[in-house]
Amino acid sequence: MTTATTVKTEYEAIIGLETHCQLSTNTKIFSNSSTAFGAEPNTNIDPVCMGLPGVLPVLNEKVLEYAVKAGLALNCQIAKYSKFDRKQYFYPDLPKNYQISQYDLPIAEHGWLEIELVDAEGNPIRKRIGITRLHMEEDAGKLVHAGSDRLSGSSYSLVDYNRAGIPLVEIVSEPDLRSGVEAAEYAEELRRIVRYLGVSDGNMEQGSLRCDVNISVRPVGREEFGTKVEIKNMNSFSAIQRAIDYEIERQIAAIEAGDRIIQETRLWQEGAQCTSSMRVKEGSSDYRYFPEPDLAPIEVSNEQLEQWRSELPELPAQKRHHYESELGLSPYDARVLTEDRSIAEYFETAIASGANAKAAANWITQDIAAHLNKQKLTITQIGLTPTNLADIITRIETGKISNAQAKQKLPDLLSGISPEKAFAGLELITDPSVLEPIIDEVIAANSKELEKYRNGNTNLKGFFVGQVLKKTDKRADPKLTNELVEKKLNA
């Protein structure tokens, strides 16, 4: 959860995002070529995605399913009738010189998602961001400049068409965002949703999730929008935030200097931490859209729509609300636990197995999370099952083992050793008749410390408790030991 920020009070930023999300299908949108990432250049290609004469596209049915599920998860209205269109433009990485996309009849429209921020006092803020539309389209190829990916100073470019025909959904937000923080949080929530659905891996570093930002600035109180500028080339959520914050300040400075803001596309320069002009922005008329003649219109039946709706999981925002209102978790714990679907499912299985919700949240977000980060693992790769975690928590709460013993044995438990084996012979000593002779022996062996305690150095109680724990190999019940030691020291 990030903290909300504002721009200069006399200006207001108007921000919308266009997000391209690669769908996790095994094959491309209109052909059978593989979508696997990392293949040798120009190996995942075929006559259809290369636009060779005499071939016809056929829609991958899984693409339609994933697009509809994403639209439903974003609270969109799903079109009973939609179609594909040709978007004309000429660029070396576009083999057909047109892109098959959707224009006036997209598959989904008029939705929203909820983002969460915190104000300066740490109070949670929830805000709905409208979704204008979600539509399906194919990706273009990739230009590799001068043998790398650096455009500056390149003397030639190579073309890799492996991405040509990769299935995408483009998700266009309403201009409801007002800061870089809000935009970054929107993009993160969008990624959480598509990952929960299983329709995309959302990996920005592999190009599976790409965000273009549209941003303008206007004086507060004015209804008319300012001139819109698009920013590209942001490969992380923090870059989205920094690019927007920079562009807001750039546009405000230009307005105050009397300069004119032009509608253009700008690139985010990560090294220089600034935007730079790329090209004058095209309008929709420049693309000369017309209906794709080689693909039939799409009709989604009520039966199919309800089937796909029934397959949707509980989504991150729903889980956060549930964890806070019904399980009593803090917004922070709810946020961490719902960041990844596998972590949320692990937590919920532990709860269903009898674990206390707060205790399970603490173990998962602290000790287990530290192990995952250190070993670069996911929660599905550890040997500690959620059922065994519930067993450990129950043992602690019933006094069979201490929290310290559980933490000491955690490496063994994470490797897959059962609680029964890990804690064999380590049950806590909870019988006062067993502990009292041990405490008497410790006090008798430390007469100098006893005299100091009775002369006012009461902090030495911890010394005596520690000696008892040491003598019992930490099997003495800590709470009972504290009570008995204090009683005997004060006798």
User: Which own/partner contact pairs does 445-454 have at CB distance under 8 Å and 24+ positions apart?
Assistant: 450/489, 453/489, 454/489
User: Over 80: is that where the pLDDT of 6 sits?
Assistant: no
* Whole-number Å distance between alpha carbons of 491 and 398: 30
Beta bridge partners of 277: 266
Q: What does the chain come to in residues?
A: 491
* Whole-number Å distance between alpha carbons of 47 and 188: 36
* Whole-number Å distance between alpha carbons of 268 and 205: 16
How far CA 421 is from CA of 227, 299, 351, 427, in Å, comes to 68, 58, 22, 12
* Whole-number Å distance between alpha carbons of 50 and 234: 28
Per the listing, tokens 């939705």 go with: 111
* Whole-number Å distance between alpha carbons of 68 and 65: 5
Beta bridge partners of 131: 111, 173
* Whole-number Å distance between alpha carbons of 386 and 380: 10
pLDDT: which is higher, 235 or 337: 337
- Average pLDDT for 381-388: 97
For residue 132, what pLDDT is reported? Answer: 98
For residue 150, what pLDDT is reported? Answer: 54
Fold of 432-489: Arc Repressor Mutant, subunit A (1.10.10)
DSSP string for 406-475: HHHTHHHHHTT--HHHHTTT---B--HHHHHHHHHHHHHT-HHHHHHHHTT-GGGHHHHHHHHHHHTTT-
Which residues does 1 contact at the CB level (< 8 Å), separation at least 6?
116, 117, 118, 124, 331, 332, 335
Tokens of 374: 């250190």
pLDDT: which is higher, 150 or 33: 33
Which residues does 360 contact at the CB level (< 8 Å), separation at least 6?
347, 350, 351, 389, 390, 393
For residue 297, what pLDDT is reported? Answer: 97
**What's the pTM value of the predicted model, to 2 decimals?**
0.86
Beta bridge partners of 12: 218
Tokens of 122: 């740490």
Give per-residue pLDDT as tens, 36-78.
999 999 999 999 999 999 999 999 999 999 999 999 999 999 9
User: Over 70: is that where the pLDDT of 148 sits?
Assistant: no
- Sketch the domain layout of the chain as residue ranges: 2-304, 314-422, 432-489
